[in-house]
Structure 1
Amino acid sequence: MKYLAEKEWVLSKLDDSNIRIADCRFKLGSPDEGRSLYDHSHIPHAVYFDLEKDLSGPVREHGGRHPLPDPAQLKKVLEKAGISRDTTVIAYDGGEGAFAARFWWLLRYLGHEKVFVLNGGYKEWAESDYPLTKEVPSMERADFKIDLQPDKLASYEEVKSVAGNQDSAVLIDSREEKRYLGLEEPIDKKAGHIPGAINKVWLEAYKNGRFKDTKEQENRFAGMDKNKPIIVYCGSGVTAAPNFLALKEAGYKHVKLYAGSFSDWISYDSNKIETVEKY
């Protein structure tokens, strides 16, 4: 697969000075847990990246619950971790995939192509009795050059222009079905979905804690034109990232992520929301 790394390959590269490993473990609602897990044990040479402190910007009136970080600030964080444009980066989380995929998407948005998600994450690594450590590595500062890729990011204005108009682009809601239907909303102030969006639940990108293979991803999105623009979103731009990765694995060419997602959409009072009363 193009964007995933298997644990056996990562194990063979642990002592490669041109490899950097990013620990992205996090728990929504318990923001300190990821760092605590890292301090307890992590893959050797891994550097910790916090979803809210490193991989998101400050929450404001608009922009959603996990706004994009300022590229210049993220550049400093990456450089401190010893990541340059020549570095191969492997991101992992607990095995959920979403937090590592968020890091993966951010680096791709910044123009870094040599970045992969560890398939199976920490869970599969630990279950295989592969090396773990508590040692926090000290990295030599690198020079990371930003080359923003706007073709990977859908702006609010772009989403507004395609909402309810599936002729121009396919809008994919990545959240669980009950949230998409508006039957349940545990986080955001309003329930439902952006008009015209279809539902492709992000969890369906996985099987037994691993990303499904390319053929299975193609089957998930069967019937969708691979040359048509696609915009993926979720609640705050995090769990949509696995769907972005899955679509690219399946051969879809024009995929964008709406980073603010539904939490940004509902921050504008005039925006319409669709709900479905019954299944």
Structure 2
Amino acid sequence: MIRPGLLLGIDDLDGLDAVVVDTRLALTGATGRERYDAGHLPGAAYLDVDDDLAAPPGAGGRHPLPLPSDFVAAVRRAGVSRGSRVVVYDDGPGTAAARLWWLLRDYGHEDVLVLDGGLAAWTAAGRPVSVDPVVPRPGDWDGSPGRLPVVEAEDLADVVRSGVLLDVRAAERFRGEREPIDPVAGHVPDAVNAPLTENTDEVGRFLTDAVLRRRFEALGVHHGAPVAAYCGSGVTATQTLLALRLAGFGDAALYAGSWSGWITDPSRPVATGP
């Protein structure tokens, strides 16, 4: 069932007039582009998280928000126009697709949906994939950022003082026991660990709205108090922002720099343990 501005199921895509975009991201092994070339939803364009949905790494972390001109050009290249309905997908749990979902909404394009379960759900349903190159007719889409809340490193103390800062990485990374990507292990002091894997079921589909609501309430989220989320680089945290929307908590803030941005300043404190 389509949840406007949020999700749609595999069957909902049948006959839907939409621009479909693959945003698969791979930290190891074959690249997202290579995975796309090996098989994608028929007619789907591809946008690369590193090249199209982020600026180069730096003080803003491993995946800073993209320059507006670069992002607009990429979205047009994918065939998106002002009136397009856009469907985005990744391998399954929405961890990369939600980045494009969030960016489009931040730029003022509300008609964007994440395919629930992504490619994994698509193939599990026996649907075909294609290896045919897709070269969309360029769209005329335009937009500018600023519709959704974003926090910076200096804002996080206020968030934890009066609300909840969610760290959506795996528990062992949050505790500082294991850090496979960034040079410093640990978390932002007073953040609450909320692993994003608990937003979806075993096949990568989002849990029901009611279950997600109970989960976030148990983590201290409630209406009227600020909520922000971060991950390693600002990409996968958007999946939790989508889950918060599904749960009825509206638009929580993204700490776009996330952990990789926080640790670029050695004067910032680092916490370890639970």
What corresponds to 2:10 in structure 1? 7
Deviations 1:117-160 (A, max 9, x none): 1011111111212232222233222222214235332223322x
For residues 105 and 137 of structure 1, the distance between their equivalents in structure 2, rounded to whole angstroms, comes to 24
Deviations 1:42-89 (A, max 9, x none): 1111001111111111112x0111111111111001112221231111
Q: How does 1:152-231 map to 2 (within 5 A)?
A: 152-159=149-156, 161-162=157-158, 166-208=160-202, 209-222=204-217, 223-231=220-228
For residues 89 and 25 of structure 1, the distance between their equivalents in structure 2, rounded to whole angstroms, comes to 16
For structure 1, list consecutive stretches of 5 or more residues without a partner in the other structure.
none
Please tell me whether the aligned partners of residues 42 and 128 of structure 2 are also in contact (alpha carbons under 8 angstroms).
yes
The CA deviation at 1:254 is: 4.5
Change (3 A) 1:150 1:9: closer
The root-mean-square deviation of aligned C-alpha atoms, in Å, is 1.6
Partner of 1:210, secondary structure, is coil
Output the TM-score relative to the length of structure 1: 0.91
Q: How does 1:1-279 map to 2 (within 5 A)?
A: 1-2=3-4, 3-13=6-16, 16=17, 19-30=18-29, 32-60=30-58, 62-159=59-156, 161-162=157-158, 166-208=160-202, 209-222=204-217, 223-276=220-273
Change (3 A) 1:107 1:230: same
Please tell me whether the aligned partners of residues 26 and 33 of structure 1 are also in contact (alpha carbons under 8 angstroms).
yes
Deviations 1:162-213 (A, max 9, x none): 2xx6333311111111111112211111111111111111110010221111
Change (3 A) 1:254 1:39: closer
For residues 145 and 34 of structure 1, the distance between their equivalents in structure 2, rounded to whole angstroms, comes to 25
For residues 68 and 173 of structure 1, the distance between their equivalents in structure 2, rounded to whole angstroms, comes to 18
Change (3 A) 1:171 1:227: same
For structure 2, list consecutive stretches of 5 or more residues without a partner in the other structure.
none
Aligned residues: 268
Deviation beyond 4 Å, 4+ runs, structure 1: none
Q: Which moved more, 1:228-237 or 1:103-112?
A: 103-112
Partner of 1:91, secondary structure, is strand
